[in-house]
Amino acid sequence: MKIALGADHAGYELKNRVKQYLQQKGIEVQDEGTQTGDSVDYPDFARLVAHDVSESRADWGILVCGSGIGMAMSANKVAGIRAVNASNEQEAQLSREHNNANVLALGARLLRDEEAMAIIDKWLATPFAGGRHERRVEKMAGLDRERDRQSGDRENSAAGKR
């Protein structure tokens, strides 16, 4: 298993503790940064991790910022990503069981280390239930394809006006 890991300045310290925690469990980690506590923009790191997952360079992604919200929102802009901002174990479990979430976002300012690690453990241990949920996950993938088509239509329209 390989996990891509990323954080902004607010999540930097928790990201490092998560990295160490995962490595102690024998999990390979691709650390996409940030590597300091200096102010950075969370969408840059969400993009890196999301592309690692969407392009199969990593099995899963974990993102950390102050609240987890911005990271999840940014990661979800990448086709094929189903990022969840989980603040407890039940949300982590349901995101995997029902939504086949492939990126987990955590809020460093909202979670104690023990809570974050418990959320990660639950998320990684929970399989996708499939069944009736498969249809819904496929509909989410359809939204990605629809967005891609609309984007292509806008690009073609703009090119025709030149």
106 and 138 in a common domain: no
**What pLDDT is attached to residue 150?**
82
Q: Do 12 and 50 belong to one domain?
A: yes
As given in the structure block, the two tokens for residue 34 are 């940030």
Q: Are residues 25 and 70 in the same domain?
A: yes
The CATH number that applies at residue 113 is 3.40.1400.10
Confidence check: pLDDT of 51 > 70: yes
Q: Based on the domain organization, do 123 and 136 belong to the same domain?
A: no
Contact present, 49 and 32 (Cβ < 8 Å):
yes
The CA distance from 98 to 136, in Å, is 9
Q: Is the pLDDT of residue 55 over 70?
A: yes
Q: Has 98 been annotated as catalytic?
A: yes
Do 119 and 144 have their domain in common? no
What's the pLDDT tens digit per position in 14-29? 999 999 999 999 999 9
| In a shared domain, residues 54 and 107 | yes
Provide the pLDDT for residue 154.
Answer: 67
Q: Cα angle at 149 between 147 and 151, to 5 degrees?
A: 70
Question: Once rounded to an integer, what is the mean pLDDT over residues 102-129?
Answer: 97
Which is catalytic among the residues 9, 51, 65, 133?
65
* Assigned token pair, 58: 């990593």
Where does the pLDDT of residue 80 fall: very low under 50, low under 70, confident under 90, or very high at 90 and above? Answer: very high
The single residue of 9, 51, 98, 133 carrying the catalytic annotation is 98
